[in-house]
């Protein structure tokens, strides 16, 4: 019963996080539907229309865990194996719970940890490359070239996922594909607010022209200011975040200290019914506190 309770807590926390991420992405996709960035789909992909959040999560999961290169899923597989070995050792030496429950819990936690880490890494790389891409496009526009010429230059000069995406956009537009289709596919691979406004600007310029130079300059300025504000936020909250990490690590270190210095009290904590209540209450309160603090930090 206790093992089932632990499993339900872990799965519940993972589900809460998934719902929060999917809610954020669904808001962006709904905005995109208003301007036609998401195409009408028929056939096998009706699943996306019936379960948009689950579909978005599965696409994200596949992209960040498997990816396009073999080295990505091999590295993630090695991480899962190493974490399973570490979890088996901790369970054998300290916890002594069911190996099956420990293996399943460790697998889900590892998968979500790798997924969140890769997604954050992808976001950071996108922000860096996208700022450089905007500078390249603005330079092309100042030289009296079209915005599509600037996109083509981004594909030639930039490396990484965004550079390949711009190259793909330029090639597909050159062979006569519909801009709505091309940018819809691109937005699904990069569902970020900055990219959303960029695609909107490009589509409006292709349809009706206008002062694209001024719009691109303002967009570049807004994105740059947003990045500066984000860095200021992290700099101002760095001390608080470090304090929270230290406070969260103290109970773990204290439990390890009890195991080494007083094994009999450690056994009471894990195997006595009253000790188990205290142990699981401590874990639940720590996780709940970390989640609340995380929400507060992301609302700043």
Measured between alpha carbons, how far is 104 from 84 in angstroms, rounded to an integer? 9
Does residue 134 share a domain with residue 217?
yes
Sequence-distant (6+) residues with CB within 8 A of 290 are: 244, 248
pLDDT tens-digit profile of 63-78?
788 877 777 888 888 9
Q: Which two structure tokens, joined as six digits, stand for 154?
A: 């981004």
Say which CATH number the domain at 192 has.
Answer: 1.20.81
Query: Is the pLDDT score of 204 beyond 90?
Result: no
pLDDT tens-digit profile of 263-295?
888 888 777 888 878 887 888 888 888 888 777
In angstroms and rounded to an integer, the radius of gyration of the C-alpha atoms of the chain is 24
Does residue 292 share a domain with residue 255?
yes
As a whole number, mean pLDDT of residues 90-108 equals 82
- Mean predicted lDDT score pLDDT of the chain: 77
pTM score = 0.69
pLDDT tens-digit profile of 38-58?
444 444 444 444 455 666 677
Asked if residue 80 belongs to a domain, the reply is no
In Å, how far from its chain's centre is CA 58? 13
- The sign one gets for the Cα dihedral 201, 137, 124, 169 is positive
The pLDDT of residue 82: 93
Domain boundary (179, 213, 234) is at 234
Does residue 227 share a domain with residue 144?
yes
Dihedral, 107, 108, 112, 114 alpha carbons, nearest 10:
0
Sequence-distant (6+) residues with CB within 8 A of 122 are: 64, 161
Does residue 219 share a domain with residue 175?
yes
Asked if residue 12 belongs to a domain, the reply is no
Gap between the terminal Cα atoms of the chain: 40
Structural domain containing residue 248: 237-300
The pLDDT of residue 22: 52
Query: Is the pLDDT score of 182 beyond 80?
Result: yes
Does residue 274 share a domain with residue 174?
no
Measured between alpha carbons, how far is 113 from 119 in angstroms, rounded to an integer? 10
Does residue 224 share a domain with residue 144?
yes
Stated length of the chain: 300
The pLDDT of residue 10: 57
pLDDT tens-digit profile of 188-201?
888 888 888 888 88
Does residue 288 share a domain with residue 218?
no
The pLDDT of residue 295: 76
Find the range with the poorest average confidence among 45-59, 105-119, 150-164, 194-208: 45-59
């Amino acid at each position: 019963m206790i093992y089932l309770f632990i499993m339900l807590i872990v799965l519940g926390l993972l589900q809460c996080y998934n719902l929060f991420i999917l809610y954020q992405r669904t808001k962006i996709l709904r905005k995109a539907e208003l301007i036609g960035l998401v195409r009408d789909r028929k056939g096998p992909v009706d699943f996306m229309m019936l379960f948009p959040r689950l579909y978005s999560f599965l696409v994200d999961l596949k992209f960040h865990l498997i990816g396009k290169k073999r080295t990505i899923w091999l590295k993630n597989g090695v991480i899962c194996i190493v974490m399973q070995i570490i979890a088996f050792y901790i369970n054998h030496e300290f916890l002594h719970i069911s190996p099956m429950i420990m293996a399943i819990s460790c697998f889900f936690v590892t998968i979500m940890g790798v997924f969140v880490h890769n997604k954050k890494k992808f976001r950071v790389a996108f922000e860096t490359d996208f700022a450089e891409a905007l500078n390249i496009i603005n330079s092309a526009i100042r030289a009296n070239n079209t915005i599509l010429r600037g996109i083509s230059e981004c594909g030639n000069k930039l490396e990484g996922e965004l550079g390949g995406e711009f190259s793909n956009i330029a090639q597909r537009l050159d062979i006569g594909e519909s801009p709505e289709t091309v940018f819809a596919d691109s937005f699904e691979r990069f569902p970020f607010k900055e990219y959303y406004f960029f695609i909107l600007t490009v589509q409006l310029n292709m349809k009706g022209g206008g002062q694209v130079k001024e719009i691109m300059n303002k967009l570049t300025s807004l994105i740059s200011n947003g990045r500066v504000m984000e860095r200021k936020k992290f700099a101002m909250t760095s001390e608080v975040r470090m304090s929270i990490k230290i406070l969260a690590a103290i109970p773990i270190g204290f439990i390890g200290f009890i195991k080494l210095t007083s094994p009999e009290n450690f056994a009471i904590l894990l195997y006595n019914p009253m000790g188990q209540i205290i142990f699981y209450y401590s874990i639940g309160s720590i996780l709940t506190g970390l989640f609340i603090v995380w929400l507060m930090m992301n609302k700043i």
